[in-house]
Amino acid sequence: MMRRRRFLGTAAAGAATALLPGCGSRSTEPQMPVAYELGKPLPWVNWAGNQSCFPKQRLGPASEAEVVDALRRATGTVRAVGASHSFSGLVPTGDTLIATDLLSGLATHDDAKLQAEVWAGTRLHDLGPLLAGIGQALPTLPDVDHFALGGAIATSVHGTSRQFGSLSNCVAGLTLATPGGELIECSATKNAELFHAARVSLGALGIVTRVRLQNQEPFELTEVSRVERTEDVLADLDSRCARHRHFEFLPLTHSDLCVSVATDPARPGDKDQGEDDPQALEQLRKVFGAVSWMPGADAVYDRILKATMADAGTSVRTGPSFRVFPHLRVVRFREMEYAVPADAGPACVREILETVRKRKLPVCFPLEYRRVAADDIWLSMFQGRPSATISVHQYGDVDHRPYFDEIEPIFWKYEGRPHWGKLHSLDARRLAGLYPRHWRDFQEVRRTLDPAGRMLNPHLKQVLGA
Amino acid sequence: MRILEVLRGRVRRLRAGGEGICAKHPHHRPAHLLAVLLAIPLTGQADLTDRQARLLIVNCLQCHVRSNFGAPIIGDAADWSKRNAQGEERLLRSVIEGRPGMPPFGYCSACDEADLRALTRRIAGLDGGR
């Protein structure tokens, strides 16, 4: 996803807009997707503002016993919600919504094994300092730290690294409150089938209450971002992914530039360099808006970016891992992401960039290209194959569908698996073909735990075919 | 309030080099907590239930104690004066609908209107946070 400081260099582009006619940009002021009245029950709305519902019951259990009780007494379709960051329709229900906000903090920890059992509602933002306090750290994290841990593993949230998998891959065990109101612990050696299913479950098996994380000792990282040519990065991609602990890049549409981000263990003397620019994405948008009407707009846009970003130089952030992994968000957007086989990643991203250019798609929100190691989790996007994840984004106040509809078939061509928490149009029939090894295994576990389908809202029925 | 007692206890332990500080990595002190402690007037009265105080810590304090976030800081009257001038109803609607950089409901999935109203008053310092 987009990182605001990554586009430090584009801040200068903002100055260019003052020189150009017609520099207006659409507002990114959030739009409430549903009407509501104070004094009456409030809706639930996700971060992006594209999902909403009016649950009859909104529960916030503060203990495992209360979760069990809530599940036993809930009526209608039951869904759990963490930080409401998923773009896909995992949460909406008109019946019972169970929020995990109050299931937060450290439950137990094991110094010898470097494991920590954490309540599933814990926000990743709190998780880093919490683990540091017991001499532990997660080996990898996503670049957004507002997620709830339970939601993050339900959707296989990930960072970028050839050697590390998703957050779900850091799970050594978990406790699940089933729709029937039973608490079940599972791990690779205890209730193993449930463990394989529940590490990425879309919240279809019940509510995960506790997660035992396999951590490592705390460590420090240094992240270096620079503006480069996309083709230069692609030509050297394997080497960079092997050389750096974490590597990703963000190609700019209608331009041959990108921002590369390499992150490695910090060395003595590493220092921060450069500053955050929270409005860089908005500046990029203004520049694009100012020139996109012109004949030969691509060339003009690319030239402005090169002129203004050429001197952007390198920016550096260094510190404890949990401070370096995440980045701030101030611009609301919608996102579609697919995981394709790692070897197919470069061809796929080239085809997307070429499609945007050839079809003159009015898009200036950068793409994001990351790597994730293979895992053995039944419904993980990375099951059985090292992957490249490619994301496309659109500003939150613009209809994303024309853009995403153009790009999604490209992902299909490369056997892409959609991110469970992001936008896509696949149904169960198509998805089953992408998970040939364990699709049926997962369905069997789900039917055993929830024969009446109480956890299935319309979106889950569509993607799981239940 | 119990939450304030808990926070005061944590201050004492942090100052003594206790809770939350890894012996091997003392530089990993949870600085965000200190920021919270500095920002919350411990002598003030917060008309929050324990549950609401926990919702505040889990959700609101992610942003409203971090000076580099662009969010108005809890307890900083200068940050809130213009916003508060719009009135409580307008402020509450901003919380519910979200703002650029702020999610709808301030990330609080468990909050109902009474929770949001109480948390908004406390963070913005409306009526002294009571």
Residue A2, token pair as written in the block = 């987009």
| Residue A266 touches partner B, C-beta closer than 8 Å | no
CA distances from A448 to A176, A179, A429, A443 (A): 14, 10, 21, 9
Please tell me the predicted confidence (pLDDT) of residue A283.
84
Residue A286 near residue A17, CB atoms below 8 Å: yes
Dist. CA B107–CA A104, nearest whole Å? 14
Give the DSSP H/E element, type plus range, for residue A106: strand A106-110
Of the candidates A450, A463, A445, A460, the one whose C-alpha atom is nearest the C-alpha of residue A180 is A450
For B52, nearest residue in chain A (alpha carbons): A102
Contact residues on chain A for B23, CB-CB shorter than 8 A: 135
Nearest of A61, A99, A97, A39 to residue B96 by alpha carbon: A39
User: Which pLDDT score, from 0 to 100, does residue B33 have?
Assistant: 47
Q: What is the pLDDT of residue A158?
A: 98
Q: Inform me whether the C-beta atom of residue A83 falls under 8 Å from chain B C-beta atoms.
A: yes
Residue pair B54/B111 in contact (Cβ under 8 Å)? The answer is: no
Contact A324, A221 (CB under 8 A): yes
Q: Do residues A151 and A167 lie in contact, with contact meaning Cβ atoms separated by under 8 Å?
A: no
* Cα-Cα end-to-end distance for chain B: 12
> At A141, is the secondary structure helix, strand, or coil?
coil
Task: Extract the tokens encoding A135.
Answer: 């001499």
What residues form DSSP beta bridges with A314?
A: A226
Q: How confident is the model at residue B5 (pLDDT cuts 50, 70, 90)?
A: very low
Q: CB of A168 within 8 A of CB of A156?
A: yes
Q: Are strands A57-59 and A78-81 parallel, antiparallel or unpaired?
A: unpaired
- Give, in degrees to the nearest 5, the angle at Cα A229 between A240 and A422: 70
* Cα gap A108→B64, rounded to integer Å: 29
Q: What is the mean pLDDT of residues B73-101?
A: 91
- Is the Cβ pair B62, A123 closer than 8 Å? yes
A111, A117, A122, A126 alpha-carbon torsion, rounded to 10°: 0
> Can you list the alpha helix ranges (DSSP code H) found in A225-369?
230-235, 237-243, 280-291, 297-309, 321-324, 345-358
Q: Are A331 and A2 in contact (CB under 8 A)?
A: yes
Element (H, E) at A337: strand A333-341
Residue A148 pairs in a beta bridge with A123
The pLDDT value recorded for residue B61 is 92
Could you tell me the two tokens for A296? 């030969």
Interface touch B28/A320, C-beta < 8 Å:
yes
Query: Mean pLDDT, to the nearest integer, of B83-94?
Result: 94
Which among A42, A82, A217 has the least Cβ separation from residue B112? A42
The answer to whether the pTM exceeds 0.95 is no
pLDDT digits (tens, 9 = 90+) for B28-48: 334 444 444 445 543 344 589
The whole-number pLDDT of residue B34 equals 45
Tokens of A289: 């808006």
Separation of alpha carbons A256 and A292, rounded Å: 16
**Separation CA A440–CA A463 (nearest Å):** 13
Task: Give the Cα separation of B76 and B20 in Å (integer).
Answer: 26
In A, minimum Cα distance to B114 occurs at A39
Provide the chain A residues 28-47 that lie in CB contact (below 8 A) with chain B.
28-30, 32, 36, 38-39, 41-42, 44-47
Contact criterion met (CB < 8 Å) for A133 and B105: no
The number of C-alpha atoms within 13 Å of A263 and in the hemisphere containing its C-beta is 32
CB atoms closer than 10 angstroms to residue B54? 20
Where is pLDDT greater, at A412 or B5? A412
CB atoms within 10 A of CB A263: 24
- Residue found under tokens 């599972």: A186
**A28: nearest CA in chain B?**
B100
Burial class (CB in 10 A: 0-12, 13-18, 19+), A94: middle
Identify whether the C-beta of residue A128 lies closer than 8 Å to the C-beta of residue A323. yes
In the block, tokens 């490619």 appear at A390
Indicate yes or no: CB of B22 within 8 angstroms of CB of A134.
yes
pLDDT tens-place values along chain A, 466 residues long? 334 344 434 433 333 333 232 223 454 555 789 999 999 999 999 999 999 999 999 999 999 999 999 999 999 999 999 999 999 999 999 999 999 999 999 999 999 999 999 999 999 999 999 999 999 999 999 999 999 999 999 999 999 999 999 999 999 999 999 999 999 999 999 999 999 999 999 999 999 999 999 999 999 999 999 999 999 999 999 999 999 999 999 999 999 999 999 999 999 999 999 876 767 788 889 889 888 888 888 888 988 888 887 666 789 999 999 999 998 878 889 999 999 999 999 999 999 999 999 999 999 999 999 999 999 999 999 999 999 999 999 999 899 999 999 999 999 999 999 999 999 999 999 999 999 999 999 999 999 999 999 999 999 999 999 8
Q: What was the pLDDT predicted at A371?
A: 98
Q: Which of residues 187-226 of A touch B (CB under 8 A)?
A: 217-218
A101 Cα to chain B: minimum distance (Å) = 6
The amino acid present at A68, given as its one-letter code, is V
Q: Is some CB atom of chain B closer than 8 A to the CB atom of A106?
A: no
Contacts of A218 in chain B (CB under 8 A): 22, 24-25, 28
Mention every residue, 6+ apart, whose C-beta is less than 8 A from residue B38: none
Tokens of A433: 């073909």
